[in-house]
Each structure stands twice: as structure tokens, then as C-alpha cells.
């Protein structure tokens, strides 16, 4: 069965919101989707706006996040919608063909993604899938996810259930990383130099035996090392 045959006009409109810094992308996306799926556009949000707990979020909500807003903002928005009731189904679009970036979005709760240059049919098909409660992920990315989950489980079991390896200052930095803050934002909030922040981040990753800051934030939240009020 072809992808085109799977893109159907559902009798019930799919409630959709779009998060992007580009008006051009938003307007083009709406125009491309209109003849392909039955949807209701609820809202559009600038990726850099302050997130609050009063955004429209009906049952069956699909949120399209423009991956070009950057990994920090994309994962922050994904984390927000994943923790709403009902949980919003996130699709990250316009992603670079970068395994680490894709994994970061999926690990924060994205239900699907499309790469830059994807056809309108591909985007519409992905929206249809996630609106039906199905995840959309390539075989290669699925394999990477299983490897990553196995690694995180091993890390948790062998190192971090015994002792807290981080200093109080490193925990402060890690808490801000989990909030999605950049190194500069961390430096401003803790009133320390950017060089000192980079030194703390390096030490955190080294002590946790991890390569990426989002992995450290994910593990810290699992272990309860950081505050859970990420969006207050």
C-alpha cells in the first residue's frame, strides 16, 4: 500500500498547533496540509516564547515543532507537551539527518519526526499516524534508541544508585541544563563566568560517563537529582 493511499481525510479534524520561528514555514505548512488531511489549526507559537501552563491542549492534540528552532528549544517544548494532561503528541519536522538530534527529541517524548526535504505526503502521513496513537520512527533510529536505553540502564545500575557523584554546584548547573538553559544563561543565573560553566559541564559529563548534556539531564531527572519544576 502506498503512502499516498494512507493519507486520508478523517471525518474528525485533527487538532494541530505549530511551533516555529518562521512565519513562512508555518504558512507553507498549512497550505501543504490542507488538501491532504482534515485538521483544525488551534494555535501557532514562536519557539522562543515563555512556556506556560495555559496553552490550548484538547484530546488528540498533535503539535508540530519546527526542528530549525534548535535542539534546546525543540526538546524543551517536547518535554512540556509530553507532561501535559492529556499528553500532546509531538511531531518534530524539518530535522537535520542527525542521529543525536533525532534521539534527543524522541527521548524527550516526540512521537514522530520528519527530515528536511520531506514531502507534504510524508508529513501528513506522520501526523495521521501519531494522531492514531502510533509512533513513527525509522528502523535505524529504533536500533539506536534500544542501544541508548540499554546504556542508560547499565549506567544507573552500576554507578548512580550508590553515591551522588556531583558537587552541589554541579547539581545547580545540571538543574539549569534540565530546564533547557544555555551555557550563557547558566552563567548569568549563577553569576559565574562562561568558562566556569563549561568546566562544570565537562566535569558533569565526565563523572556520569556520558557524552551529551541532554543525557545527563535525562538521567538526573530519572534519579531525582534535579527539581521537577522545569517550567515555572
Grid cell of 205 as nine digits: 559529563
Residue 84 and residue 132 share a domain: yes
- Strand, coil or helix: 64: strand
If asked whether residues 90 and 179 sit together in one domain, one would say no
Q: pLDDT tens digit string along 170-215? A: 989 999 998 888 899 999 999 999 999 999 999 999 988 888 888 8
Out of 107, 139, 171, a domain closes at 139
Task: Show which of 139, 166, 188 is a domain's final residue.
Answer: 139
Establish if 192 belongs to a structural domain. Answer: yes
Lookup: cell for 47: 519557539
Side-chain half-sphere of 99: how many Cα atoms within 13 Å?
9
Which class for 192: exposed (0-12), middle (13-18), buried (19 or more C-beta within 10 A)?
middle
92 CB-near residues (< 8 Å, 6+ apart):
64, 65, 67, 74, 78, 102, 105, 110, 112, 113, 114
Continuous segment of H or E residues that includes residue 19: strand 14-19
Q: For residue 225, how many C-alpha atoms fall within 13 Å in the half-sphere facing its CB?
A: 29
pTM: 0.62
- What is the Cα–Cα distance from 30 to 128, expressed in whole angstroms? 15
Domain that holds residue 130: 3-139
The whole-angstrom distance between residue 44's C-alpha and the CA centroid of its chain comes to 17
Q: Are 223 and 166 in contact (CB under 8 A)?
A: no
pLDDT tens for each residue of 28-72: 999 999 999 999 999 999 999 988 878 999 999 999 999 999 888
Query: Grid coordinates representing 138?
Result: 525509522
Sign of the dihedral through C-alpha 224, 225, 228, 231: negative
Q: pLDDT per residue over 81-106, tens digit each?
A: 988 888 899 999 998 877 777 878 88
Check which CATH number belongs to the domain holding 88 and give it: 3.40.50.2300
Residues 67 and 94 sit within 8 Å (Cβ to Cβ): yes
Same domain, 158 and 117: no
Do 135 and 187 fall into the same domain? no
Residue from 60, 4, 61 nearest 37 by CA:
4
Q: Domain tally for the chain?
A: 2
* Boundary residue ending a domain (139, 174, 206): 139
Q: 203 with 161: CB under 8 angstroms?
A: no
Amino acid at each position: 500500500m502506498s503512502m499516498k493511499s494512507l493519507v486520508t481525510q478523517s471525518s474528525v479534524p485533527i487538532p494541530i498547533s505549530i511551533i516555529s520561528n518562521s512565519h513562512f514555514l508555518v504558512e507553507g505548512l498549512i497550505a501543504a496540509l490542507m488538501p491532504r488531511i482534515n485538521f483544525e489549526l488551534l494555535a501557532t507559537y514562536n519557539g522562543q516564547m515563555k512556556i506556560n501552563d495555559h496553552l490550548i491542549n484538547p484530546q488528540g492534540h498533535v503539535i508540530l515543532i519546527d526542528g530549525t528552532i534548535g535542539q534546546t528549544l525543540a526538546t524543551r517544548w517536547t518535554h512540556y507537551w509530553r507532561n501535559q494532561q492529556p499528553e500532546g503528541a509531538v511531531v518534530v519536522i524539518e530535522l537535520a539527518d542527525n542521529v543525536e538530534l533525532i534521539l534527543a527529541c524522541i527521548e524527550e517524548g516526540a512521537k514522530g519526526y520528519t527530515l528536511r526535504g520531506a514531502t507534504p505526503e510524508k508529513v501528513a502521513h506522520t501526523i495521521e499516524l501519531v494522531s492514531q496513537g502510533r509512533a513513527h520512527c525509522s528502523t535505524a533510529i529504533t536500533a539506536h534508541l534500544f542501544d541508548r536505553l540499554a546504556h542508560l540502564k547499565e549506567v544507573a545500575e552500576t554507578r548512580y544508585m550508590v553515591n551522588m557523584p556531583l558537587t552541589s554546584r554541579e547539581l545547580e548547573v545540571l538543574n539549569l541544563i534540565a530546564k533547557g538553559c544555555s551555557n550563557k544563561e547558566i552563567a548569568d543565573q549563577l553569576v559565574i563566568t562562561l568558562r566556569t560553566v563549561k568546566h562544570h559541564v565537562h566535569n558533569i559529563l565526565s563523572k556520569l560517563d556520558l557524552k551529551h548534556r541532554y543525557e545527563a539531564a535525562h538521567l538526573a531527572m530519572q534519579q531525582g537529582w534535579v527539581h521537577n519544576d522545569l517550567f515555572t
